[in-house]
Amino acid sequence: MRVLSVVGARPNFMKLAPVDRELVKRSVEHVIVHTGQHYDHGMSTAFFEQLWIPAPDFHLGVGSGSHARQTADVMQRLEPILVELRPDLLLVYGDVNSTLAAALVAAKLGVRVGHVEAGLRSGDWTMPEEINRVVTDRLSDLLFLPSRDAAVNLAGEGIALERMHFVGNVMIDTLAWALPQAIALEAPARHGVSGDQFAVVTLHRPANVDDPVVLRELVQALKRLAERVAVLFPMHPRTRQRIDSQGLRVPDADGLRILEPLGYLEMLSLVAGAALVLTDSGGLQEETSFLGVPCLTVRPSTERPITCTHGTNRLVLPKRDAILAAAERALARRSPARPVLERWDGRAAERIARVLCDDERFELDVPLAATSPHTPRRAVAIPQPLGAG
Ligand code: UD1
């Protein structure tokens, strides 16, 4: 069997790593295509090295650009590779532009598509990732679900249950694999913080960093938070560009420390020891929930509601006072125990390989009423952000 995986951006790489290991274990020919959506060493190569992912077989060199150009370039450059190799299955991961572009090319060529991390929905159509999720799922033959709520979302869009496999969360496979190495790194001590009296911040979503008013409010919140605890902020290139272009001053001094994007292990080492994570990332909502670290997600909605209902995550609007109040509450109480989330057990990639190689099924029961395309519904209550109204 020949499986071809397409990845391109930072959050794809930790999802690819365990799948690659499981496929290789079963002697599947696994071809890796890197689109080049992310290209800085710290956003790409560092992850391949730390996660033991083999160097990509093909690199498309797409780089940055508008969504249309990035998507079109991936499509044009991937098509001849798929025509030549004719894989039995194309695997795509998550919700980035490279994912959507690859799924579209394969579907048109009649190549079967498998989507890892299928069925997540924020309900927010202004997010480019939400468009990518919905269209990729529609194009996919095999949908690998990280959580039960994903099945209800998909069924509500009229997608047949036979295409879904509730395999669990591949991000957690990688986290469980890497945690001992990450803790041994002692990144907090290397950054001069300790005793869990520090916060880790990541912010890069267009809704937070592209609007000057919102970005200013967030910078204010970080400065104030840094008076309370040390704040480590590994800054995404998009955020750095926006801060520079708006002439905003973010002092790398006192409690607020601006860092370059960190490698996977170093980031995990910090997050595992933190008192609080403030983020707009999808992956960090999951990682903090697994680790039992309080997380504040600066977004009005989440496509990962179980991190709020069963994990440690809380949504908060990008308002200084709301963030500071929520941070104060989170710092006052650390979760007593790590939450247990169903099938977030380090074996999701193994289940994917069993579906592909052994024709196993990982089914779920979804109430029939949820399968009508006219009655979209959600499996869990929709979390509401703090600071609304
Ligand atoms: C992308 C994903 C987002 C994911 C994020 C993680 C889409 C629509 N968005 O957003 O879901 O959470 O990656 O990082 O696919 N840049 C660099 N160096 C790099 C990569 C990017 O400098 O290695 C700069 C470029 O100037 C680029 C900007 O960052 O214009 C944004 O990169 P892009 O890939 O367009 O989207 P992200 O904001 O990173």
Atom of ligand 1 nearest to the CA of 65: 30
- CA–centroid distance, residue 60 to ligand 1 (Å): 16
CA-CA-CA-CA torsion sign (270, 97, 30, 303): positive
- CA–centroid distance, residue 333 to ligand 1 (Å): 34
Is the beta carbon of 235 within 6 A of some atom in ligand 1? no
Is residue 68's pLDDT more than 90? yes
Q: Which residues contact 316 (CB under 8 A, 6 or more apart)?
A: 296, 297, 298, 322, 323, 326, 385, 386, 387
pLDDT digits (tens, 9 = 90+) for 83-101: 999 999 999 999 999 999 9
Is the beta carbon of 11 within 6 A of some atom in ligand 1? yes
Is residue 376's pLDDT more than 90? no
Is the beta carbon of 38 within 6 A of some atom in ligand 1? yes
Is the beta carbon of 260 within 6 A of some atom in ligand 1? no
Is residue 103's pLDDT more than 60? yes
Strands (E) located in 77-207: 89-93, 113-116, 142-145, 164-166, 198-202
Is the beta carbon of 7 within 6 A of some atom in ligand 1? no
Atom of ligand 1 nearest to the CA of 94: 11
Residues catalogued as catalytic: 204
21-25, 65-69, 247-251: segment of lowest average pLDDT = 247-251
Contacts 24+ apart (CB under 8 A), 82-87: 82/4, 82/106, 82/109, 82/111, 83/109, 85/2, 85/4, 85/31, 86/2, 86/111, 87/2, 87/3, 87/4, 87/31, 87/111
- CA–centroid distance, residue 350 to ligand 1 (Å): 29
- CA–centroid distance, residue 208 to ligand 1 (Å): 14
Going by alpha carbons, the residue nearest to atom 27 of ligand 1 is 64
Q: Which residues contact 46 (CB under 8 A, 6 or more apart)?
A: 263, 264
Is the beta carbon of 96 within 6 A of some atom in ligand 1? yes
Is the beta carbon of 9 within 6 A of some atom in ligand 1? yes
Residue 367 is predicted with a pLDDT of: 56
pLDDT digits (tens, 9 = 90+) for 326-342: 999 999 876 667 889 99
pLDDT digits (tens, 9 = 90+) for 250-308: 877 779 999 999 999 999 999 999 999 999 999 999 999 999 999 999 999 999 999 99
Mean pLDDT on 201-220: 96
Is residue 238's pLDDT more than 90? yes
Mean pLDDT on 239-243: 96
Say if strands 256-259 and 313-316 run parallel, antiparallel, or are unpaired: unpaired
- CA–centroid distance, residue 194 to ligand 1 (Å): 31
